[in-house]
């Protein structure tokens, strides 16, 4: 298989493996591309909370370093949820307002607070999909 890579071929970077496996479907963030999250309505305080601490992110921007795999996963999680919420709710402002409002379906938990983990993001995604299909609890 032409795109198959393994450790024997000298590819040990998880970033490279993800790029090959994802076929361009996922974004690789660096410090400067964090601006994309701001464009979707996240504040810098939220980006520092979910992606990388202030000093770490400042260093990545200054040195033009890519985010770590974990930081990149967190940034991608925020972007995915923002894009899904915008699509389902109709615009960025409604999506960001929904993300910051306690949800009855989530036992009055604020959806944004769940985005620290993949499990929490799945709960938010499931609730957005229920909204899309008109299934309310």
pLDDT value for 137: 63
Of the chain, the end-to-end C-alpha distance in Å amounts to 47
pLDDT tens digit sequence for 59-113: 999 998 899 999 999 999 999 999 999 999 999 999 999 999 999 999 999 999 9
Neighbours of 104 (CB within 10 A): 11
Pick the more confident residue, 5 or 123. Answer: 123
How far apart are alpha carbons 70 and 16 in whole angstroms? Answer: 14
pLDDT value for 117: 96
Q: How far is CA 105 from CA 60, 75, 109, 124, in A?
A: 38, 25, 9, 10
Q: Domain ranges for the chain, please list them.
A: 7-132
Pick the more confident residue, 50 or 65. Answer: 50
pLDDT tens digit sequence for 8-44: 443 348 878 878 887 877 778 888 889 999 999 999 9
The model's pTM is 0.83
């Amino acid at each position: 298989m032409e795109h198959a890579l393994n450790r024997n071929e000298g590819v040990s970077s998880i970033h490279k493996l993800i790029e090959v496996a994802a076929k361009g479907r996922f974004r690789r963030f660096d410090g400067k591309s964090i601006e994309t999250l701001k464009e979707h309505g996240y504040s810098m305080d939220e980006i520092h909370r979910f992606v990388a601490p202030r000093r770490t992110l400042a260093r990545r921007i200054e040195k033009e370093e890519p985010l770590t795999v974990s930081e990149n996963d967190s940034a991608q999680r925020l972007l995915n949820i923002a894009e899904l919420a915008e699509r389902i709710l109709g615009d960025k402002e409604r999506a960001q307002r929904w993300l910051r409002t306690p949800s009855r379906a989530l036992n009055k938990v604020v959806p944004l607070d769940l985005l620290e983990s993949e499990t929490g993001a799945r709960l938010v995604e499931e609730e957005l999909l229920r909204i899309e299909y008109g299934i309310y609890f």
